[in-house]
A and B are shown apart, each in its own frame.
Chain A
Amino acid sequence: MPLGDSATILVPVDVTADDRPARPLVDLCRSVDVVLLGYYPVPDQLAPAQLKQDHETDAQATLEETADRFRDNGIDVTDILVFTHDREDTIDRVANEYDCDAVLVLSETEHIEQILAPIRGDTNLERIVSLLEALMQTSDASATFFHSVAEDSDPSHGEFLVRGAADRLAEAGIDRDRIDWQLSEEESPHDEIVELGQAYDLLVLGETKPSLRDRILGAVPTRIVDEVDRPAFIVRDVE
C-alpha cells in the first residue's frame, strides 16, 4: 500500500521533557495526518496509576500545547496521553491501533534541506519512496538514497536498487535535480549511515523486523537515530 496524502504519522513526545517538534518538522507534516502520542515514562517502582493521579492534568496541558503547534498549521491531529513503563511498547501499540504508516522521531533541527534515505532492499521500498514523495512535495528539500553493498554480493544489484528508487520518485513528479543516490562498499553500513547522517537534516528509515539481536540490543533504526541525533521518519513494515 503506497503512502501519499492519506499517510498517518505517529509522533511520540515525552511529556515530561520539553519535547517540542521543531518548526520545519511541523511544516513537513502538512500533507499527512498526525497521531500525537504523549507518553509519560513510569519507573518500575511505581504503579502507572499513581503518576496518572498526580500528573495527568499537567501532562495533558503539555500535550495540548504541542498538538496546537500542528493544529495551527491546519494539520489534523489526534492526541493520546499514555502512562507507560515502556516507551517502545507503547509506540508499537499505538502505531498498530491507529494504523500509522511511519513514526517521526523528533530532534532539534533548524531547516530541512537534505534528506537521507538508506535502503536495504526491496522490503518497504515502495512505502519509503511514497513517504519521501509526500515530504518533498510540501518542501524544497532534496533527497539522497543510500545503499551499502554487502561484501559478497554484486555492486550492480545495489545500484539497480537505488537508481530504481530515484526513478520512481522522479516519475511521481519530483524534479530530478533534487534526487541523488550513493553507494558504499564499506563493511559496516551502520557506522557509515551514522557518519553520513551528520551531513543531512532528516533521515527516512525502514523499520527492521526484530531479530533476536534486536530484541536484546534494540532495533537498528532506533540505534541509528539515537546516534545520529537528527529527526527521522521510521517507515513501518506493515506487510
Chain B
Amino acid sequence: MLESLIQNVLNALQWGSYYSLIALGYCLVYGVLLLINFAHGDIFMVGAFIGLGVATFFLGNLGPELGLSGPVVLALTIPLTMILTAAVGVTLERIAYRPLRRKGAHRLYVVITALMCGLVLENGNLAILGASRRSFPQLIPTQVYDFGLFSVTNVKIAVILAAILVFIFLQFVVTKTKMGMAMRAISWDKFAIPLMGIPVDSIIVFTFILGSGFAGLAGVLFAMSYPVLEPYMGAMVGWKAFIAAVVGGIGDIRGAFAGGFLLGFVEIMVVAVFPSTMRDLISFTILLVILTWKPTGLFGMAKTTKI
C-alpha cells in the first residue's frame, strides 16, 4: 500500500512537471499580454517534434561521421530544440499577434487567432508528416535506482528537477531582473510603460522566447519518457495545462507551478483509485469546485474594477 502510494506520488510529480512547464509558459504570456495563447500546447508538440528531428539528425546523418554518443546528442538536442521552438513562438507572435495588437483589435480576436494558429500547427504537422506515430530514439540508457520502498528512473528525476529549476529560474527572472520588472510593468499598465522608454515589443518577444523555449524543453522531456509522438498530443495537454495555470491563479508564476502539480496529482490519484476512463470527469469536477470556491485561483488576487 505504502509502496504503491509513494510510486504514485512520484508518477504524479513527473506528470505534474509537464503540466507545470507548459503552464509556466501560458502564465508568462498571459501575465504580460493578458492573452490566452491557445497555441502554446501545440508549441509544446512542435518542440517534441523538433527535438525528434534534431536528435535523429545528429544520430543518423552526422553520428557515424562524428561518432557522437547518446548523451552528447542529448546535450546538443536540448538547447537546439529550445532555441528553435522559441523561434517558432516568436514567429507566431510576429506574424499573427503583433499586427492585431497594433491595430488595437479586441482582445478576443487575438485569442481566436491564437486558436487558429494552434490548429494550423497541429494539422500542418499531420498533413506534412502523416498520421503515423513516431518514436523518439533512446539517447541515454534507462537506469533504475531502487530505494527498497520505491524505484525511480533517471528520466523521472531529470524531469522533476527540470521543472523545479525552470520555476526557480523564472521566478528569479521575473522578480529580480530588469527584464522581469519591465514585464510586470507592462502587465500593470501597458499605456504608460512605452512613455517610460521601455521597448514594449522587445519585452513581449522576450516573454515569448522564455515561454516557448521551456515548452520546447517540456516537449523533449516528454518525448524521452513517453517516446510516442503524434500531432495531436499537444492539444489535450495544452488545454489541461492552461486550466492548471488558471486554477493556480493565472498571471502568477507560483500559481502556474502549483497548479500544474495539483492537476498532475489529481489525475494520477484518480486513475489509481477509479477506472481510468473517469479521469477527466473527476479531475475537471475537482478543478471546477476549486474555482467556485476561489474564483481567482489559488494564488490569484481579486481585482478591483474602476468604473
Judge: A and B partners, yes or no.
Answer: no
Measuring CB to CB, which residues of chain B are less than 8 angstroms from any residue of chain A? Answer: none
